[in-house]
Structure 1
Amino acid sequence: MKSQIVGYQIIKLLTVDSTNNYVAKLVNKSKVSFGTVIMADFQTKGKGQRDNLWHSDNGKNLLFSIYFDSSFLTTNTIFYLSKIIAISLRNFIFNISGKNVKIKWPNDIIINHQKIAGILIENQLKNNNIYSSIIGIGLNVNQINFIKNLSATSLRVLTHREYDLKSLLEIFINVFNSNLSTLKEKNFNYIDNQYHQHLLNFNKWALYKENNSVFKAKLSSVNEQGFLDLVLENGKTKSYDLQQINQLI
């Protein structure tokens, strides 16, 4: 694969619709290199999972996207990129906050059942093979007030400190780069162990919602395709993808 160092170039924007969209436009114009990071003070249409919007106060939080060469992965193993990012982000937040940080499938990071960060990855194909990925990350940093009915927290709320966003970004990039060798070497068993160790409700009974039906199940794994494997109360195991099910906290 082509070598890349994530963060060798960081481009800072004031306002953008979303950093993922901005990177995608650069890709279409062939004006961006692998490893480039785009960060913004504010997103007018920040994106989350399931077409949700990411709400963030201007200049308060870390909002960025990475253009990543993921061509060494296949359509069957691309979710390991999501896992290594979640592990990196979880460990990064833990090192700063000292709190019990959990990964909530598919790509949220939570503390005390409150969301502190989210990940959105958009993959590009070439000749039906994985070619590249745009990794979008939002981390609540200095924001202290959140919209009504949004269960969220931030580093400032948790630690009573304000943070320099650029410095935090550089620290995260170092953590991510240090973990990349595990992914490039395709040490998937190690990644799975690390991921499941910090996965919310792993091997525990919890409530899930499919359509309008709420049921109890035990989370046995997140498989290599990124599907949630649940043990149902009748003892059978069933796999669910992102569009089929919601995990209730």
Structure 2
Amino acid sequence: MKLIKLDAIDSTNDFLKALSSQDEQENFTTVTAENQTKGKGQMGGKWKSEAGKNLIMSVLVKDFLFDNEQVFNLSVVVSLAVSEVLNFLNIPDICIKWPNDILSYNKKLVGILIENTIKSDGRIVSVVGIGINVNQTDYTEFPSASSLAVISGKSFNKEEIAFLIVEKIKENIELWQTSSQVLWKKYFNSLFKKGVPMPFKNLEDQNFMGIIQGVSPTGKLQVLLEDDSVAEFEIKEVKMLY
């Protein structure tokens, strides 16, 4: 893979998007940064990281998505790739909190932000931003987060993790062509709190009980409600309370 290593940047996603718009970059070109000043999360949220301690990376993915209805497929591929690498590194109790946060022991380790651009010829080009808490140990300001180092008690080579993730993304994309249902099943089985009654909060700030049933092909969270109906929610339409 082509790797571009930066010391500091406002956003690796923005950098890679600009790079790919100006030049025909090879598939799976990857950008990493030691520090990111304007990291982004889902729906405009912020991603903050202690400089030099964590893995901040963006990966260019082309020739996988061909329809807007398919965009969540990449989220499945990537979240599984990251989960599988963390399992390989012996990080315990890994699960995927919909749509694609990665948790261990209910603590957030990974945030993923995928940004898609439709080219003039109809191609969809994706920039996959991945932020992994690796060697940072102070989470006083972020009590719901943790890191690989905190959980495992040892430090990790960030570049090695980046290579493992890109290779696993490639592997999953190849597998998708013949075994997409296998990957969807793995994703469903990895979902945080799937099948467990739990409280949620909706956009009207109302709390309700529900049971996660799965995720629709377009990425909506499917929740069984107390009246036995199943509601579907877009990202940011519902919040899990745990």
TM-score by length of 2: 0.94
| Cα distance between partner residues in 1 of 2:91 and 2:58 | 25
Query: Residue 51 of structure 1 aligns with which residue?
Result: 44
Of the candidates 54, 67, 73, which is equivalent to residue 61 of structure 1? 54
CA contact (8 A) 1:97 1:155 kept: no
Q: Which moved more, 1:68-77 or 1:159-168?
A: 68-77
CA contact (8 A) 2:65 2:74 kept: no
In structure 2, do the counterparts of structure 1 residues 84 and 152 end up closer, same or farther at CA, with 3 Å as the change threshold? same
| Cα distance between partner residues in 1 of 2:131 and 2:140 | 16
Of the candidates 219, 237, 240, which is equivalent to residue 244 of structure 1? 237
1:155 aligns to 2:167 (yes or no): no
CA contact (8 A) 1:26 1:32 kept: yes
In structure 2, do the counterparts of structure 1 residues 241 and 130 end up closer, same or farther at CA, with 3 Å as the change threshold? farther
- Structure 2 portions without partners, runs of 5+: none
Once the two structures are TM-superposed, the CA of residue 198 in structure 1 deviates from its matched residue by 0.8
- Root-mean-square deviation over aligned CA pairs: 1.6
Once the two structures are TM-superposed, the CA of residue 57 in structure 1 deviates from its matched residue by 0.7
Once the two structures are TM-superposed, the CA of residue 154 in structure 1 deviates from its matched residue by 0.7
Once the two structures are TM-superposed, the CA of residue 88 in structure 1 deviates from its matched residue by 1.0
Query: Residue 109 of structure 2 aligns with which residue?
Result: 116
- Structure 1 portions without partners, runs of 5+: 1-7
CA contact (8 A) 1:41 1:59 kept: yes
Once the two structures are TM-superposed, the CA of residue 75 in structure 1 deviates from its matched residue by 1.3
TM-score by length of 1: 0.91
Of the candidates 65, 75, 86, which is equivalent to residue 93 of structure 1? 86
Pairing of 1:147-226 with structure 2 (within 5 A): 147-185=140-178, 187-211=179-203, 212-226=205-219
| Cα distance between partner residues in 1 of 2:80 and 2:149 | 21
Once the two structures are TM-superposed, the CA of residue 172 in structure 1 deviates from its matched residue by 2.0
Deviation per CA, 1:209-229, whole angstroms, max 9, x where unpaired? Answer: 102111111111111100011
Query: Residue 146 of structure 1 aligns with which residue?
Result: 139
Matched residue type, 1:182: L
Once the two structures are TM-superposed, the CA of residue 140 in structure 1 deviates from its matched residue by 0.6
Q: For this pair of structures, how many residues does the alignment match?
A: 241
Query: Residue 5 of structure 1 aligns with which residue?
Result: none
Query: Residue 21 of structure 1 aligns with which residue?
Result: 14
Q: Which moved more, 1:31-40 or 1:97-106?
A: 31-40
Once the two structures are TM-superposed, the CA of residue 145 in structure 1 deviates from its matched residue by 0.5
Matched residue type, 2:111: G
| Cα distance between partner residues in 1 of 2:200 and 2:112 | 21
| Cα distance between partner residues in 2 of 1:190 and 1:87 | 11
| Cα distance between partner residues in 2 of 1:149 and 1:39 | 23
